[in-house]
Amino acid sequence: MKKLLFLILVISQIFSIAFAVEKKTNPREIKIDGSSYTLIAPVKDAEKIKHNFIKLDEILAEKWKISEKISSTEDKKIIEEQFDNINKLMIEQDNILKDIFQQGYYSHTLLVKFINMRKSFSLSLNKDFERFVQKEIADRKAADRFLQMFDVNTSQYESVFMFLSKNYLQ
Interatomic CA distance for residues 137 and 143, integer angstroms: 10
Please give the pLDDT value at position 11.
62
Q: Which of 74, 62, 58, 50 is nearest to 124 (CA)?
A: 62
Mapped onto helix, strand or coil, the DSSP state of residue 36 is strand
Does the predicted TM-score (pTM) go above 0.85? Answer: no
Please give the pLDDT value at position 51.
78
Interatomic CA distance for residues 108 and 121, integer angstroms: 20
Interatomic CA distance for residues 153 and 30, integer angstroms: 27
Question: How do the pLDDT tens digits run along the chain, 170 residues long?
Answer: 656 555 565 565 565 555 444 444 455 555 555 556 555 555 566 677 777 777 877 887 888 888 888 888 888 788 778 877 877 877 787 777 767 666 655 555 666 666 677 677 777 777 787 877 887 877 778 777 766 666 655 455 555 555 545 544 44
